[in-house]
Structure 1
Amino acid sequence: MRIAFVGKGGSGKTTLSSLFIRHLAAASAPVLAIDADINQHLGTALGLDERTAAGIPPLSRFTRAIKDYLRGDNPRIPSAAEMVKTTPPGTGSRLLRFGSPSPLDDWCTYDFSAADAAADENATVDLAGVRLMVTGVFDESDLGVACYHSKVGAAELYLNHLIDGPGEYVVMDMTAGADAFASGLFTRFDATLLVVEPTRKSLSVYHQYREYADEYGIVVHAVGNKITEPGDLAFLRGELGDALIGGLTFSRAVRAQERGERISLEQLEPENRTLLADLQRRVDEVPKDWARYTELAHHFHVKNAHSWANSSVGKDVTTQIDPDFSLVDHMAVVSGV
Structure 2
Amino acid sequence: MKIAFVGKGGSGKTTLSSLFIRHLAAIGRPVIAVDADINQHLGPALGLSDDQAAALPSLGVHLPQIKEYLRGSNPRIGSADEMIKTTPPGRGSRLLRIVEENPVYASCARPVALDEGSVRLLATGAFTEEDLGVACYHSKVGAVELLLNHLLDGRDEYVVTDMTAGSDSFASGLFTRFDLTVLVAEPTRKGISVYRQYKEYARDFGVTLRVVGNKVQGPEDREFLRREVGDDLLTTFGHSDWVRRLEQGAEPALRTLEPANRAVLELLEREADAAFDRRDPRRYSEQAVHFHLRNAESWGSAKVGVDLATQVDDGYVLGGEQPAAARAHA
The TM-score bracket by the shorter chain reads over 0.9
Q: How does 1:71-82 map to 2 (within 5 A)?
A: 71-82=71-82
Question: Which residue identity is paired with 1:126?
Answer: E
1:11-53 per-residue CA deviation (whole Å, 9 max, x = no partner) reads 1110110001111111101011000000000010011111111
Distance in 2 between residues matched to 1:263 and 1:46, nearest whole Å:
11
Question: Which residue identity is paired with 1:277?
Answer: E
Structure 1 residue 313 corresponds to structure 2 residue 304: yes
1:209-262 per-residue CA deviation (whole Å, 9 max, x = no partner) reads 111011211110000001122321121122222211111100011011112221
**Residue ranges of structure 2 left out of the alignment (5+ in a row):** 323-330
RMSD: 1.3
Structure 1 residue 251 corresponds to structure 2 residue 229: no
Question: Which residue identity is paired with 1:282?
Answer: E
- Report the Cα offset of residue 127 of structure 1: 3.2
Distance in 2 between residues matched to 1:157 and 1:330, nearest whole Å:
21
Structure 1 residue 210 corresponds to structure 2 residue 191: no
Structure 1 residue 238 corresponds to structure 2 residue 232: no
2:86 is paired with a residue of what secondary structure?
Answer: coil
1:97 is paired with a residue of what secondary structure?
Answer: coil
Distance in 2 between residues matched to 1:127 and 1:210, nearest whole Å:
35
Which moved further from structure 2: 101-110 or 232-241? 232-241
**Residue ranges of structure 1 left out of the alignment (5+ in a row):** 114-123, 332-337
Distance in 2 between residues matched to 1:300 and 1:264, nearest whole Å:
42
**2:129 alignment counterpart:** 140
**1:121 alignment counterpart:** none
Identity across aligned pairs (percent)? 58
Aligned equivalent of 1:284, options 250, 273, 278: 273
1:141 is paired with a residue of what secondary structure?
Answer: helix
Q: Residues 162 and 242 of structure 1: is their aligned pair in 2 closer, same or farther, counting only changes over 3 Å? A: same
Q: With the length of structure 2 as denominator, give the TM-score of the two structures.
A: 0.94
Which moved further from structure 2: 282-291 or 43-52? 282-291
CA contact (8 A) 1:38 1:137 kept: yes
Distance in 1 between residues matched to 2:203 and 2:252, nearest whole Å:
37
Which moved further from structure 2: 79-88 or 252-261? 252-261
**1:274 alignment counterpart:** 263
**2:313 alignment counterpart:** 322
Q: Residues 228 and 158 of structure 1: is their aligned pair in 2 closer, same or farther, counting only changes over 3 Å? A: same
**1:127 alignment counterpart:** 117
- Report the Cα offset of residue 111 of structure 1: 1.2
CA contact (8 A) 1:194 1:221 kept: yes
CA contact (8 A) 2:285 2:316 kept: no
- Report the Cα offset of residue 90 of structure 1: 0.7
Distance in 2 between residues matched to 1:270 and 1:324, nearest whole Å:
47
Matched residues, number? 320
2:213 is paired with a residue of what secondary structure?
Answer: strand
CA contact (8 A) 1:163 1:330 kept: no
Distance in 1 between residues matched to 2:191 and 2:204, nearest whole Å:
21
Q: How does 1:89-100 map to 2 (within 5 A)?
A: 89-100=89-100
**1:24 alignment counterpart:** 24
Q: With the length of structure 1 as denominator, give the TM-score of the two structures.
A: 0.92
1:142-168 per-residue CA deviation (whole Å, 9 max, x = no partner) reads 011111111111111111111001110
